[in-house]
Chain A
């Protein structure tokens, strides 16, 4: 019987929950063909049980690496795993908790818990790492299942291939397409954005659910984001925020969409405006570039610098 283990780092456990959203008969079939050797969310397995294991056929790791314990666990996982999977966007790219990398660790601890705590942390509770990192920063990863959480269909397909022994070559397990490819909205050829519409702002009521968000001045990351999610958010009339990570052939998801949005802004009116006006308006239109363009991927692209925040 094949052995599997599910472990987590800095995670919300949404990936755990997503596993249980698979159809009941599929779950039943899957779990009758594998032996779960460690999954603390669902069974009484201690760290020692995991440590005592020899080779494990499949280890799925969700969450990024935030503490020393996560790092040690991950390294053990790699040693034991025949196949190591980064389950979800946190393990793959750092995920939303990765935005914390904008701040120094000391500042975070001091702000939330006060000075005393900062001195003691790490003695009785796991020592936080300076920065949150995706698991590929420490170990070689065999497959990535991006998404927040990964779409149920993708998980199901992956597990099927695993059982049948028909997994494709290593790398990202997903669609070679963009979210735009899966979105049915009408996409005009020529787009110019005079003003960015923020979610729930005054102009939001003008949004036409049949027309491309970008064309209506709403920032949407569909063009730079990997497909496979069936454009679920967009179909719920909410723009893509990039949870599936960079689309194929996109080197830097955040920089690319930043570039697109910048190009579209004031495209029609720019020649009538002074350079200063354009500069100021562009900066004003995007309230929070990092939080919007790198929401799920900051640690993947950026490790920090030696300069202080402005």
Chain B
């Protein structure tokens, strides 16, 4: 049984053009969402699978990646597609490694979607709470 006081540690990679701006909007709009560890990145396409795996190795229980909407919102044209394809493959890898695929979530969030951002974080947080703490041996 997971202790009641346990709080999931979620690392969120947020693209500066959309995801981060969406989070910002959620903030200035005083929308409430659970605690995460946000990391601003230039593009969801710069979130290499190494970073996702590293997050888990270093104690994350979940990894959230927020990028710009497909097909055409990406500031770098196709970074969001890179993210999509990498996450697809990383999820398959994680499940082979014995890690629940749902510990990684990729969402498209535009600068205007503060509400969506807060909803996604809430949902993801609950999901990870349900899955419990992740321990990775290195």
Contacts and interface: CB of A to CB of B under 8 A. Distances in A.
A261 B133 CA distance: 31
Contacts of B90: 258
B89 A256 contact: no
A282 B85 contact: yes
A305 B82 contact: no
A263 interface: yes
Given A271-B71, A308-B98, A286 B92 contact: yes
B134 A306 contact: yes
Interface string B88-128: 11111101111111000000000000000000000000000
A252 interface: yes
Contacts of A266: 85
Interface string A279-310: 11011001011100100000001111111111
Interface in B66-99: 70-72, 78, 81-82, 84-86, 88-93, 95-99
A280 B92 CA distance: 11
A151 B97 CA distance: 31
Contacts of B136: 302-305
B34 to A, nearest CB: 22
Among the interface residues A131, A270, A278, A309, which one has the most CB atoms of the partner chain B within 10 A? Answer: A270
Given A270-B78, A290-B97, A307-B134, A255 B88 contact: no
B96 A278 contact: no
A310 B89 contact: no
B134 A263 contact: no
Among the interface residues B56, B78, B93, B99, which one has the most CB atoms of the partner chain A within 10 A? Answer: B93
Contacts of B82: 262-263
Given A263-B82, A275-B70, A306-B135, A290 B93 contact: yes
Chain B interface residue count: which class?
20 to 34
B53 A252 contact: yes
Nearest to B45: A263
B85 A305 contact: no
Among the interface residues B50, B85, B95, B133, which one has the most CB atoms of the partner chain A within 10 A? Answer: B85
Interface of B: 48-50, 53-54, 56, 70-72, 78, 81-82, 84-86, 88-93, 95-101, 133-138
27 contacts: A252-B50, A252-B53, A252-B54, A255-B48, A258-B89, A259-B50, A262-B88, A263-B82, A270-B85, A271-B78, A275-B84, A278-B81, A279-B85, A286-B92, A289-B92, A290-B96, A290-B97, A302-B136, A302-B138, A303-B137, A303-B138, A304-B97, A305-B134, A306-B135, A307-B99, A307-B134, A310-B98
